[in-house]
Amino acid sequence: MKRTISVVLENRFGAFNRISTLFSGKGFNLHSITIGETEVPGISRMTLVTTGEDKVFDQIVKQLNRLIDTIKVVDLSKEHAVARELALITVHYKKGNRSEITELCRLFEGKVVDINNKTLMFEITGPSDKIDAAINSLAPYGIKEMARSGAIALKRGEQERQLATKQLINHS
């Protein structure tokens, strides 16, 4: 089962490397990893998608917590969370099927971001399974190239329990 973990960490030299080294060193699966800044300077948020049995997953969370640069680890699989991926997909078109393809793309709320006389590039965002479905639907037309981001995710708002990164830091 895929699990999503959100890690709030110090934006220090080597912090990212430390996490990827942890995954390779311990033999944990890593499906995707994304990292970016947060609303607090000096603090990054990393979203990891991994697969593994409960016991392994429990170790992953503990080992992430153990790293010195890690401020907070949240298992988003246990929470109500919003997870999104972004994909850029370049598809071949022929004279007759351009509007068919763009129509299909619209079903997935995609946008055309580039076009030339042979190919169309779409931008599609959404949860992982929606991106999968879009790719599957576009595949028969011939995908020339594709780039897909890992997931980024945040816990959904709860009236009281929702903590901003700033508060997380004070609480940890």
Partner 1 sequence: MPSHLIGKDAFQEADIVGITRPITKHNFLVRDVKDLAMTIKMAFYLASTGKPGPVLVDIPKDIIANKCAFEYPETVEMRGYKPNYHGHSSQIKKAAEKLRNAKRPVLYVGGGVIMSGGTKELALLAKENNLPVTMTLQGLGAFPGTDDLSLGMLGMHGTYWANMAVNNCDVLVSLGARFDDRVTGKVDKFAVDAYKIHVDIDPAAIDKNVVVDLPIVGDVKHVIAELAAEMSSAPHINDWWDQINAWKDECPMDYEDNDGLLRTEMVIEKLSERTKGEAVIVTDVGQHQMWTAQYYKYAHPRSNLTSGGLGTMGFSVPAAIGAYFARPDQPIISISGDGGFQMNIQELITAAAYKLPIKFIIINNSFLGMVRQWQELFHAEKFSFTDLSASNPDFVKVAEAMGCVAYATDDPKEIDNMFDKAFAVTDRPVVLEFKVVKENMVFPMVPAGGALSDMMVKRLNPKLM
Q: Which residues bind partner 1 (CB under 8 A)?
A: 9-10, 13-14, 17-18, 21, 25, 55, 58-59, 62-63, 65-71, 169, 172
Q: Cβ 154 to partner 1, closest distance in Å?
A: 20
Task: Identify which of residues 65 and 162 has a Cβ nearer to partner 1 in the complex.
Answer: 65
d(CA 163, CA 40): 13
As to burial, measured by CB atoms within 10 angstroms (0-12 exposed, 13-18 middle, 19+ buried), residue 60 is: buried
d(CA 99, CA 76): 39
Task: Identify which of residues 43 and 91 has a Cβ nearer to partner 1 in the complex.
Answer: 43
Residue type, 10: E
d(CA 9, CA 168): 11
Residue 155 and residue 74 in contact, taking contact as beta carbons nearer than 8 Å: yes
Q: Cβ 162 to partner 1, closest distance in Å?
A: 20
Q: Cβ 15 to partner 1, closest distance in Å?
A: 9
Residue 99 and residue 50 in contact, taking contact as beta carbons nearer than 8 Å: no
Task: Identify which of residues 53 and 160 has a Cβ nearer to partner 1 in the complex.
Answer: 53
Q: Cβ 29 to partner 1, closest distance in Å?
A: 17
Task: Identify which of residues 47 and 90 has a Cβ nearer to partner 1 in the complex.
Answer: 47
Q: Cβ 14 to partner 1, closest distance in Å?
A: 6
- 151 closest CA partner among 134, 131, 136, 135: 131
Residue 164 and residue 39 in contact, taking contact as beta carbons nearer than 8 Å: yes
Task: Identify which of residues 68 and 99 has a Cβ nearer to partner 1 in the complex.
Answer: 68
